[in-house]
Amino acid sequence: MNEELLKAGKPANASSPKLSHLDYGFTDEDLEKDVFIYDGRVEGVTKSDKKTWKLKDLIAYLKEIYCEKVT
């Protein structure tokens, strides 16, 4: 995997080539933008009345849910 990361121009210690916001056309500046994700009809990511998230916080939350070890 380290060779794949290096070929893609990423540091060898990067967590995954597909988890970077840069791979999906977002910039570092986009991480500070608010995104609207609330849908009152279903319980989802927010599990609260929170209607907007900073993109960086949403990414961190999803990484925690989907990339951490199950204990």
34-51 pLDDT, tens digit per residue, is 988 876 666 666 566 677
What total number of domains does the chain contain? 1
**Which residues have C-beta within 8 Å of that of residue 31, sequence separation ≥ 6?**
21, 54, 55, 56, 59
Map residue 52 onto helix, strand or coil.
strand
- Evaluate whether residue 14 is within a structural domain: no
Cα distance between residue 38 and residue 24, in whole Å? 22
pLDDT tens sequence across 3-62: 655 666 666 565 555 668 888 889 999 999 998 887 666 666 656 667 788 999 888 888
SS3 label, residue 28: coil
Give the Å distances, CA to CA, from 38 to 1, 11, 16.
Answer: 36, 35, 28
CA distance 21 to 26: 5
Domain coverage including residue 38: 19-67
